Structures are given as structure tokens and as C-alpha cells.
Amino acid sequence: MPNKEKFFVAVTGCPTGIAHTFMAEAALKKAAQQAGVGIRVETNGAAGIENTLTDEEIARADAVIIASDKAVEMARFHGKPLVRASVGHGVKKANELVARAISGNEAVYHHEGSIGSAETNTVKSEEESLGRLLYKALMNGVSNMLPFVVAGGVLIAVSFFWGIYSFDPTNAQYNPFAASIFNLGKLSFSMMVPVFTAFIAYSISNRPGFVAGFVGGLIAANVGAGFLGGIIAGFAAGYFMKWVLHVTRSFPRSLEGFKSIFLLPLVGVLVIGLVMTHMGDSIAAINKGMMAWVAGLEHANPLILGIVVGCMSAFDLGGPVNKAAYVTGTMLLAEQGNALFMAGVMTASMVPPLVIAFATVMFKKYFEKEEQAAGLVNFILSATFIAEGAIPFAAKDPLRVIPILMLSSSIGATLTYWFHVAVPAPHGGLIILPLVTHGMLWIASIVCGGLVGGVIYGFYRKRKYLAQAASNAAPLNNSLA
């Protein structure tokens, strides 16, 4: 009988909330079952928070496990032993996280600020490095911005079915319905930088940061400072308002309403607004120069660009390096309408699961039954732009498998740039194929990268299998001799 004396609660979350979130959930549940303890896991995915932890469950828990790369409501865990890790560790090292929780040696979490104050969600994270805190804030902005990007990009692309100028009343292609769809997409796109900036600031200093960050993001978008301006405004708003909260922490309770409703928004919007108004033009010039340089690589040297994008996308399969490539593609698509760069980024993330799928089919006997089943699922994951399907295979032998995936993604991305494929939407995979320029060449690029990697990985698994078989046969031969 499993030992239910110990009980834990956990939260998982990744920036996109599509794969890592639920893979970490499954891994933690499996690890807890193997350890004979109880666990409840709250997921912070693309559809929002699911399986929300209750106050009773948190009160009963012996420890809390946070495996998340995005902001988590932390005030409720005050006074509980806390195990904190990235969502990647939740996927790959779930047994270790559960073991740490069972040990009872983890430090007790003390939340900064009292529940109900304006500082309720300010996370006190001495154990986390500055780099990790900055990354989590940035990814919180990305995860909340992503739905606006997807909706806006797809709607604009769909409007082009009626003609590339169907939104323009002065053009012969004009169609009122297409123009309505285009304008909706454009409106959604226009909210990307403000939402991105607001949620960076929110991750750092909660609601006061959100207000100042949103206004800073609006100014960045209006002056053309784009995502670079959004990043600067988001972190400036977040840390400035965190400082203001610290300075005003001694205000009496009777002034709490005045502080949170009037003083904090006023000070935040005024200071961050003035800073971004005066710095906006300079940031915009830098932002445009950077985008022009990156976009220029598409035509000047598609091989180098393909290698860079391919290696970044396959290096950590949905992690921070992969997200850096994706955010760059999204930025170029949103601000310049550059669908060529986005095509390479999407290809590079669709190839790794296809490598696994092809290898498990073509070299079936060298994979276990469970791996064969997972390999077939990777056909679907590849088609829907979910690179994380390759993670379980890469995690077993990262030093050999990840370079194979990086090579394969580089081949696919380079061919995509070579063929001048244009993908006008930032998500969806093959679902958006009707919108893609040179769609058949795009599929050929993805399949080529997947086949090359699948053959290399398959031969590697064959060699490993035969070596293992020879090793197992050696003791038997010695005993017979």
C-alpha cells in the first residue's frame, strides 16, 4: 500500500503552456506514485490555471514544489517548505524534486508583504539568481502576449485569401469582410507590446507594475521602439514600482486605498511615461537597426542564418534559447511583416519531433515498445509545431541526441530560407499550410531535415543496441568456455 502520510502540492508552468507544463505535471505525479506519497498538481497552461490548489490542500501539504518558468501566485505558500525549480527540471528531474520534498530539509518560504496588501504577489526569492528572476519575468510577458500574436497573425493571413490588398478601400481587390478580418488582426497585433510589457512588470511588482508597464508598452509601440522598448519599459516599471512599494510600506492601513488606487498608479504612469517618452526615439532607432541586420541575413547568407536558428531552436526544445529564436521571429513578423524569418523558426521547431518519429518507424527494432508509441505521437506533435515531443528521447542521452537534432533543424531552416518560404502566422504548424507561400517546398524542407536526422539517430540507436547485445553475450560465452 502506498504511504499516504506525506502529501505535497505542486505548480507547473511554462511560457507557452502547451507541452512542458503538462509533461512536468505527469512526471511529478509518476515520481510521487513511485515514492509512495500523495501529490496535487496545479497547471498554469495556455488555457489558464487548472486544477487550482485549495486552501485546505495547501494547509495539509508537507511541502510545496514549484516547477515553473512563469510567475506563480506565491502568497498562499507562506510558511511552507518550498522546492523551487524550472519546468525543465520538473520534466527531467521529477524524482529528485520529490525526494527533496520528502527529505524535509528545504527552507521554509516567507512571503514578502502581508496578504491583502498591495505587495501580495511580490515574490521573495533569495534562492533564485538574478538571471533566473529576469528570465521568469520575460517569459511571463511572452506567455501572456502569445495569444494576441497568434490571433492577430492568423486573422491577417486569412484576410489575404481575398487578395493581398483586400483591406484597402482604394484598391480593386477590396473586400469589406476581408477588411474587417484584417483590422481585427491588426488590432490584436497592436496590443502585443503593451501586454508583453505589462506582464513583465506584473511579474516583478504585481498590479502597480502592471499599470505602469502597460502605459510604457503603449508608448514603446507608438514611437516604434517595439519589443526592445517593451523590454526596457517592462523591467523599468517593475523594479521602479517595487522600490516605490518598499518606500511606502510603512504607510498606515487607513491609507491603503489611497496608496493602491491613487498614489501608485499616478507615480508609476508619470515616471515610466516620461522616461519612455524621452527615450523612445533612441530605443526605436536601435530596435530598427537590429531588426534590419537580422532580416538582412535572410538574403545575404541563408546558410549562416539557418544554422543559427536551427541550433537555437533545437538546443533546449522550448527552453529559453528556443524561445529567444521564437520571440525574434515574432518580433520581425509583428513589426515588419517579415514572414520569411518566422518560416525558418517554425521549421526548426517542427523538425526535432519528426526526427524522433522517423527514427522510431525506420529503426523500430532498436527502440522499446514505449518509445515506439511515443515516436508515432511525434508525427502529430511535429505537424502542430510542438518541439517538446523530442524531450524524453533527448533527456536520455543529451550529449549525442541534441547535436543530431540541432543538425537536423539547421538543415530544415536553411532550406526554408533558401526556398524563400513565407509563414505569415506565428503558430499552428501545418494547420496554417494554406496561408504559406511555397507551402510544398516548406513541407519538403521539414521532411528533409527530419529524414536526415531520423537516419542518423536510427543508426546511432542501432549501434548502441548491437553494442549492448554484444556486451550481454560476452559473459555467457566466457561461462561456456
For the annotated catalytic residues, the residue numbers are 14
Selection from 367, 357, 348, 342 nearest residue 436 by Cα: 342
Half-sphere exposure of 155 (CA within 13 A, CB side): 20
Looking at residue 54, the DSSP 8-state letter turns out to be P
Q: What is the DSSP string of 197-250?
A: HHHHHHHHHHHHHHHHHHHHHHHHHHHT-HHHHHHHHHHHHHHHHHHHHHHTTT
Q: Residue 141 has which C-alpha cell?
A: 510577458
Q: Are 458 and 408 in contact (CB under 8 A)?
A: no
- Asked whether the beta carbons of 150 and 428 are under 8 A apart, the reply is yes
Pairing of strands 82-85, 7-13: unpaired
Select from 171, 176, 246 the least CA-distant residue to 205.
246
Q: What is the dihedral of CA 325, 331, 332, 337, to 10 degrees?
A: 140
Pull the grid cell for residue 401.
Answer: 541526441
Burial 443-454 (b: 16+ CB within 10 A, else e): bbbbbbbbbbbb
Residue with cell 513541407: 443
- Judge whether 242 and 212 are in contact, CB under 8 Å: no
